[in-house]
Structure 1
Amino acid sequence: MSDKKRVSRSMRWLRRFCKTAVNWVSKLFDQIVYNKRASLAVSVMAAVAICISVNFEDLSAMFVNGSQTTLNVSGIPVEVRIDEEQYKVEGLPNTADLTVTGTPADIQVFRSQQSNVTVTANLTSFGPGRNEVPLTVSGVPDSLSVTVNPESCSINIIQKQTRTFDIKPELLLGSGQKASDFQTPVLDQTKVRITASPNELNAIRTVKALVDASGQSGDFTLSAVIAAYNANGDKITVTMQPQTVTATVKAAQKEENPNG
């Protein structure tokens, strides 16, 4: 058989194969397009393929790179260790944030025990003045790594001082009452010792014993709370000794009618 005949026969076979393949693909396409079940199956397979391709990096990070995951925890209260009767601390944040890293299983266990976590600023070894102090974390399992933000903070430790102030009674009246209904309250103590920072002590303008007369109509005695105020009338939070005094109040004497 000559070479020309072999080539001619091969070409005829190739044309028949291509025609058959095209017809088969065409019929398969028609079955998929016009068959609901087949269309649904193809759609599902396409969706799965897309999801796998989109999340391939995330899946590989979880199953190939040690299955590490990260949990951010914000707003953990900062506990301070210091003699608060002797010192005042300025510049310490109220809360701190944590970044916890570990396996998904360990992170899940940590979630259930998260209330045991504490962030502490231990100032017992620091003296008065400016200090850079670290924040430490406890209550996190050893299987997890944790970082705290901020890791440290610049604070000012101030030595408190104590001064003695005079106490003035202030009568608190209720609805329908008048100051003229009562005599000036008499206190069993007229002095109070206040311990605070020098700036707080200098800001105190008056110290009052708050005598609540609401609901009273005659003589009465009660325990009056002591409060310190600045020049704007704002209450200042300080340590007081004593915190209350006993106040005795007499009703105002009614004037006698000489014509009665």
Structure 2
Amino acid sequence: MKEKSPKNTNPKFNSEEKLELAQRIARQSEKFSRRTEAIGNGFFRILRWLSDSFDKILFNPRHSKFVAFALSGLIFLALNANDAGATATLKNSKELKDVNVSLVYNEEMYEISGYDEKVNIGVIGDYSDISMVSDVSDYSVELDLGGLTEGTHRVPYKAIGFSSRIKTYIEPATAEITIRKKETKTVQLSYDFINLDKLDPKYVLGEPEFESRDVSIKASKETLSNVAFVKALIDVSGQTEEFTTEAELVAYNQQGEKIESVDIIPKKAKVKVGVSSPHKTVPVRPIFEGEVPNNKAIKEVKMDHEAITIYAPQSVLDSIDEVVVPIPAASLTDDTKTVQNVSLPSGVRFGTVSKVNMEIKLGKGISKKFDKVPINWRYNVNGYKMSPVNKDDVYTSIEVFGTEENVKKFTVDNVWVYIDMRNVEVGDNQEGKLYIESSTPYLDIKSSKESIIFNVIE
């Protein structure tokens, strides 16, 4: 049996084959070395070219502006990158405006001044935390004055109600507060009616009746010296009959400004107010001011309202006997129909008539003189005695102008010439103006004397 020769036996080379193989390897190595050297030389030539070109550009005076511009651009981009980062940070911040400030102190003993009632708060934190900060009413700012006594102190504001993960910055950060000790003083109440525009003008308010007019006010000595009066503000809106209410009490300074830092004890006052509706019906009388042109006079006047009911305090009603409607006589050249506004006398709150339709008829005017018309004294409220300096001044003459029909109706008994004594004082040689009233309508009456001189005896 024959033996098998091994399958992977290396072939044997003779000496010639070995020499040829070594030469071929040497040639390939030399070729690779030359190629590698050529690549390296080319790379270094490119680097030297770039370096030389950069030096020529950078250090050439002609290119200095370009180089400066390029550097500025790089710096600008760098700064903008920093700002962009800062902006990204501010997206997690927020400002709360007008946050209420509360004080922690002994309100009964001390008065505090010098702090802001509202401040602004800046909050910084993660986006998820800041997004939850919304309603200002959920937060407050506190000034803790515990342990402080009278004097001036610098106290920091403290934010209340925020998460511990949120940083807060308060503007302003501190308050320079002044602490003063309170004192007590007793004053008498005055009053004001409020909401008078909501009270029906037909009604009149009586004098308020308080359970007590004395109230105590408590504040620092400096504040108390500025209190001019304390008023009860009585709300009268919609009242039609006697009512009782509790009125808010407010302290004011001399300029009528509220003083908020005063404690008023009690804070409200019980008061009773009477409500009435006094009224009176009086005639409406047209008064013609000036002269009717073309020698004409008023013959008659027809009105759709001959009387008016007026509402006012009784003292005002007692002084009113009529409501006059003034008409410029110079505008009347012929028979006229007109509408006139009714102006209420001073103190009258309401009248049942606001306009009057009139039909005015004219006629030819005539004049007539009357002598020995007596001069009287009226409204002698002080009970003085009067005597004219000139004895002839007990009488005057008057001239009456009107239509023939109206002048015929006139007699001296229809006229009252008088001096108003309400403002007269005791003394000699006083001058009094003469006034004329007549019960005959539509006449122009003039006195020959405008005034007289008289003596007043008490």
Q: How many Å apart are 1:61 and its aligned residue?
A: 6.5
Q: 2:263 is matched with which residue: 236, 239, 251?
A: 239
Residue 23 of structure 1 corresponds to none
Query: In structure 1, which of residues 96, 110, 121 is the aligned counterpart of residue 130 of structure 2?
Result: 110
In structure 2, how many angstroms separate the alpha carbons of the residues matched to 1:99 and 1:171? 45
Structure 1 residues 138 and 107 mapped into 2: Cα distance closer, same or farther (>3 Å)?
A: farther
User: How far does residue 140 in structure 1 lie from its aligned partner after superposition?
Assistant: 3.8
TM-score by length of 2: 0.37
> C-alpha separation between the residues in 2 aligned to 1:62 and 1:216?
62
Partner amino acid, structure 2, of 1:128: E
Gaps of 5+ in 2: 1-76, 279-313, 315-458
The residue that corresponds to 2:222 in the other structure is 199
The 3 A distance-change label for structure 1 pair 114 and 127 is farther
Name 1:164's counterpart in structure 2: 186
**Identity in percent:** 26
* Kept in 1: contact 2:187–2:230 (CA 8 A): yes
Structure having greater relative contact order (Cα 8 Å, sep ≥ 6)? 1
**1:134 to 1:175, Cα distance in 2 relative to 1, 3 A:** same
Structure having the higher strand fraction is: 2
Alignment TM-score, normalising by the size of structure 1: 0.61
**Contact residue 170 and residue 211 of structure 1 kept, 8 A:** yes
In structure 2, the residue matched to 1:129 is: 151
- Corresponding residue for 2:233? 210
Cα distance in 2 for residues equivalent to 1:232 and 1:62: 51
AA aligned opposite 1:111: S
Cα distance, 1:212 vs structure 2: 3.6
2: CA distance, partners of 1:62 / 1:250: 69
> What amino acid is aligned across from residue 117 of structure 2 in structure 1?
N
Picking from 226, 233, 237, the partner of 2:249 is 226
Match of 1:91 in 2: 114
- What pairs up with 1:4-153 in 2 under 5 angstroms? 56-57=81-82, 71-75=93-97, 76-102=99-125, 106-113=126-133, 115=135, 116-153=138-175
CA contact (8 A) 1:165 1:207 kept: yes
CA contact (8 A) 2:139 2:159 kept: yes
Bigger CA radius of gyration: 2
- In structure 2, distance between residues paired with 1:183 and 1:60: 74
- Secondary structure of the residue aligned to 1:184 is coil
Deviation at 1:191, TM superposition (A): 0.6
User: Structure 1 73/247 Cα, relative in aligned 2: closer, same or farther at 3 Å?
Assistant: same
The 2-side partners of 1:60 and 1:247 are apart by: 68
Deviates more, 1:225-234 or 1:208-217: 208-217
Once the 2 structures are TM-superposed, how far is the Cα of residue 129 of structure 1 from its aligned partner?
A: 0.9
How many residues are treated as equivalent by the alignment?
196
* Residue 154 of structure 1 pairs with residue 176 of structure 2: yes
**Where does structure 1 lack aligned partners over 5 or more consecutive residues?**
1-51, 256-260
- Report the alpha carbon displacement of residue 133 of structure 1 after superposing the two structures with TM: 0.9
Distance 1:117 1:214 in 2: 38
Alpha-carbon distance, 1:249 to partner: 2.9
